[in-house]
Amino acid sequence: MEDGSRDIVAILSMLPHRFPMLLVDRVEAITPFERIRAIKAVSVNEPFFQGHFPARPVMPGVLLVEAMAQAAGILAIESLGLAGSGKLLYFMAVEEAKFRKPVEPGCLVSLEVAYLQRRSNVSKFQGYARLGDGVAAEARFTAMIADPPA
């Protein structure tokens, strides 16, 4: 995997997401048209922890899938040279999502996403959210690159 690290400024130029929905803090490595490894630093200050669950904060699994999808968005936008174009990556399907370990405040989640298939503007990805050597969540998902709504 190429170095290809990207800081938050570069991420903000590629994704339309902003707080509180931006779930990728840093890109560690990227190989265009192949794979990406990114980081989500989970803080106790995340707004979802107020209700999920106040006595035992756990990051919702659906947000782990969203974080993987955002990493895939960075991979697709970077691979296709679309940064700054306004193009968006829209979810089309999520398959075989599995949640194996709780993600709590203080965790550094490694988001690893790889292309499985690419056709025109539709791509299929395999994603993993890892805590150390273990898998916290995984999913296959399909997304398409499109213009934003008018």
The rounded Cα 137 to chain-centroid distance in angstroms is: 12
Instruction: List Cα–Cα distances, 54 to 21, 47, 49, in angstroms.
Output: 20, 11, 6
Catalytic amino acids? 52
> In the 8-state DSSP scheme, what is residue 50?
G
| Phi-psi category of residue 91: left, alpha or beta, with phi > 0 → left and psi -120 to 50 → alpha | beta
